[in-house]
Structure 1
Amino acid sequence: MGELLLCNESIAAMPFYLEGVSINVYSIEELDYYIMNNTFLLDKSFMSRELCAWIENQAKLPKLAGNLRMIISTNGRLSAFVDEILRNTGYCSASERKQIHDTLSDLEEKSTFECSKLRADRLMENEKYLSSIFEYNKLLASEEAKTADSVVCGNIYNNLATAYARLFLFETAAGLYKKAYTLNKNRKSLWSCLYAYKCMDDDTHFKKIVNEYGVSDDEITSLENVLNGFYSADADSKTDEQLKQLNDLQANDKAAYSEKISDIILRYKEDYRSHVF
């Protein structure tokens, strides 16, 4: 789960697999932790008899499992189901429980389309880009999307494009930003499209978009100023210093150099994995 959790209840011999986020939980405390940190990702599918069976047989909490089955059998609400888990395990405070309950209650008053967009947006905020891409695509393929406001759909395409851009898939992102702009008419989406082409050094498509949508010289200047800001003197200075340190190690301490390079590669791998899994 990424953090050390003190578990007072039983540790399961078999974990419960949370399919939507590809996570195994081994204790009721880990389940509570997941609920607290992923409230917006919860939906009716979380209220499963499989989870009840795991709580009874693996977490060794038969009374809680019985209460949860009763909520399911009486067509109870997700907010009540989740609150029952949190209330019986005492993992979080009363105020935290209330906040989670209120959040879920609010989601229960929204349409499926609105809830799905909130979940996708939250995945983006948490830098789970691959999961957010899956959710945005599912959202755009839904029946509700066919009748949704064009601005809303445009904003979804914009966020989908951003998820691809964060994974350095700039060509795909550029096309989606363009699609977003045709729907939401938000100049920021068009600018993002141009940013994506600049990141690919694709001047041909950059100029095509500029001509097709009448991007002014002032807009281009502003865009270039923003891009130049990404390459500040401080950032360049820091990078130069890191490269100098690596060069010194390579010349004087091969073992330390190899270890440093391995650490850098590992950090990049961990950072990438955190965004896609």
Structure 2
Amino acid sequence: MSAIILCKEGGAQAPYELKIIKKRIYSVEELCCFIYSNVYICDEELLKYELYEWLREECGLNDLYASITEIRNSGDEAYKIAADIFAYTDYLNKQEREAVCERIRKASLLSATERRKSRTDLLFLDDRYEEALAGYEELLKEEMGRDNKFTHYLLYNIACCYGRLFYFDIAADWFKKASESKYGDDEDKAALSFCERMIKEE
């Protein structure tokens, strides 16, 4: 990725809120950073007309507004909109743009469950453990009664969320469930032992 990106215009007076990650941006370059870092979830934002209005009204990017609105009106392919935004800002070189946009295109083909998992993983990585916990638990409800790699993944990550929130007793219960799964492994047992030690120290 390019080392230094100069802003096309000054920053916006009023920010745009990326609701999916609950963060505000003030420039098209920050929008590019969001797209680049969140290829599995950015399509939802890229298809919103309110984003295009913000680029025009707050950032003064009339040409970009016209271009991406035309793309949007012809279909719902977010990767094409991303490519246009990247090209406008010179945020990435041609090879990098093509690689990122191909990842966005492939992400759009994922199932609804896979996309929700990706969004929940992002919440976890962003230290938003309570929100991630709610997401993982909801996914687990839909997998109730199954014992597969995905349910094991959910059990383990639910335990991790509780652990990060310092609820070691609850985390231990979930790590135990993960270890008892058909796909349980030594990592589950090690995490369970750690939680049990932390409980004794409390």
Q: How many correspondences in the alignment?
A: 197
Higher RCO, 1 vs 2 (CA within 8 Å, ≥6 residues apart): 2
Query: What amino acid maps onto 1:189 in structure 2?
Result: D
* Residue in 2 that maps onto 1:198: 197
Please give the alpha-carbon distance, in whole angstroms, between the structure 2 residues aligned to 1:99 and 1:123. Answer: 24
**TM-score normalised by the chain length of structure 2:** 0.81
Change in CA separation of 1:183 and 1:70 when aligned onto 2, cut-off 3 Å: farther
Q: Which has the larger radius of gyration?
A: 1
Q: CA deviation at 1:147?
A: 8.3
Query: What amino acid maps onto 2:10 in structure 1?
Result: S
Name the SS of the counterpart of 2:75 in structure 1.
Answer: coil
Q: CA deviation at 1:50?
A: 0.9
* Residue in 2 that maps onto 1:168: 166
Q: CA deviation at 1:82?
A: 1.6
**Over aligned residues, Cα RMSD in angstroms?**
2.8
TM alignment of 1:6-21, pairs within 5 A: 6-21=6-21
Q: CA deviation at 1:148?
A: 6.6
* Residue in 2 that maps onto 1:80: 80
Name the SS of the counterpart of 1:11 in structure 2.
Answer: coil
Please give the alpha-carbon distance, in whole angstroms, between the structure 1 residues aligned to 2:167 and 2:144. Answer: 26
**TM-score normalised by the chain length of structure 1:** 0.61
Percent identity between the aligned chains?
Answer: 24
Q: CA deviation at 1:166?
A: 2.6
Higher-helix-fraction structure? 1
Q: CA deviation at 1:183?
A: 3.7
Please give the alpha-carbon distance, in whole angstroms, between the structure 1 residues aligned to 2:112 and 2:60. Answer: 34
Please give the alpha-carbon distance, in whole angstroms, between the structure 1 residues aligned to 2:39 and 2:144. Answer: 27
Query: What amino acid maps onto 1:155 in structure 2?
Result: Y
Q: What runs of 5+ residues in structure 2 fail to find an aligned partner? A: none
Residues 68-105 of structure 1: per-residue CA shift (max 9 Å, x gap): 22333333212112222112221222232122112112
Name the SS of the counterpart of 1:24 in structure 2.
Answer: strand
* Residue in 2 that maps onto 1:102: 102
* Residue in 1 that maps onto 2:113: 113
Query: Do 1:83 and 1:97's aligned partners in 2 also have CA atoms closer than 8 Å?
Result: yes
Please give the alpha-carbon distance, in whole angstroms, between the structure 1 residues aligned to 2:46 and 2:178. Answer: 32
Query: Do 1:79 and 1:104's aligned partners in 2 also have CA atoms closer than 8 Å?
Result: yes
Change in CA separation of 1:109 and 1:58 when aligned onto 2, cut-off 3 Å: same
Deviation >6 Å, runs of 4+: none
